[in-house]
Amino acid sequence: MPETRPQAVGFLGGTGPLGRGLALRLAVSGVDVLLGSRDQSRGREIAADLSGQLPPGSGEATGASNREVLERCALVLITIPYQAMGATLEELRPLAPGRILVSTAVPMEFLGGVPHPVTTGFGSATEQVAQLCPDSLVVGAFHTVAAGQLLKLDHTLDEDVLLTAHDSAAKERVSDLVERIPGLRPVDAGSLDSARFCEQLTPLLLRLNRLHRAHTGIRITGL
Ligand SMILES: NC(=O)c1ccc[n+]([C@@H]2O[C@H](COP(=O)([O-])OP(=O)(O)OC[C@H]3O[C@@H](n4cnc5c(N)ncnc54)[C@H](OP(=O)(O)O)[C@@H]3O)[C@@H](O)[C@H]2O)c1
């Protein structure tokens, strides 16, 4: 029997490196992706550019406004800078009930060029999404995956993706999505209050990248 075509995955702020990188890899795996932007025409432009890189048999990449993404997609990745995430969700949250929202934001700032975690007041950016959108199913994921590596289709990925959520069905759905991308392994990291640890790994990875002139990711051993 032919495999059922997976549901389209949406991105808020899908025009940045992480949104484009994840959309590219998911589209290659056969998933349709909807790249949202504050400016619908920018979303379309980036989606057209992405489409040009897709091999035959890929999912479709389409551009849209962020609003349209929430209207059309049951699973939406939030790929907006942390500093803009709260205001964006305040505006769009009436459209979010029932959606699976995947929080990727890393609350981080550069002080003297060195990455430092930022205190959110919510425990983590992921928990902030859950507080702002209480009727959505919030999952934390992809915090430690570098956009630059996703965007290079000839780069072989080899890393884990830590997943946090209260809702196990939503976590499972995102886990299935991670598994579609060769070289990424989903790892259940527990409930949302673990998200702070996942998010804080990223400033460390960026420091390691600089120290070792490397592109680091994470692998959990013993599982
Ligand atoms: N880059 C990475 O390697 C990486 C890795 C792990 C996690 N993350 C997290 O993933 C998220 C996206 O990262 P990124 O590097 O792709 O970010 P980015 O390029 O800085 O921003 C992504 C998109 O967000 C939208 N945006 C920017 N400022 C906004 C504002 N004030 N209000 C509403 N939308 C705004 C823009 O889309 P439009 O202008 O089209 O609206 C932009 O293209 C961040 O939270 C980051 O912490 C990134």
Half-sphere exposure of 162 (CA within 13 A, CB side): 23
pLDDT of residue 136: 98
pTM: 0.97
For 109-130, write each residue's pLDDT tens digit.
999 999 999 999 999 999 999 9
User: Of ligand 1's atoms, which has the minimum distance to the CA of residue 19?
Assistant: 16
What tens digit of pLDDT does each residue of 145-187 get? 999 999 999 999 999 999 999 999 999 999 999 999 999 999 9
Q: Which tokens hold the place of 196?
A: 């702070």
Looking at the chain, which runs of residues are DSSP E strands? Answer: 9-12, 33-37, 61-65, 75-78, 100-103, 108-111, 114-117, 137-140, 159-165, 184-188
Listed residue (166, 112, 177) closest to 139, CA to CA: 166
Closest ligand 1 atom to 125 CA = 45
Q: Mean pLDDT of all residues in the chain?
A: 97
- Pocket residue to mutate for ligand 1, from 70, 79, 116, most atoms within 8 A of Cβ: 79
Evaluate: CB of 81 within 6 angstroms of ligand 1: yes
| 3-class state of residue 77 by DSSP | strand
For residue range 165-174, what is the model confidence (pLDDT) as tens digits? Answer: 999 999 999 9
The CATH number given to 9-212 is 3.40.50.720
Ligand 1 touching residue 124 (CB < 6 A)? no
In the predicted model, what is the mean pLDDT of residues 194-217?
Answer: 98
Instruction: Evaluate if residue 218 carries a pLDDT over 80.
Output: yes
Per-residue pLDDT band for 6 (boundaries 50, 70, 90) equals confident
Any idea where the domains of the chain sit in the sequence? Answer: 9-212
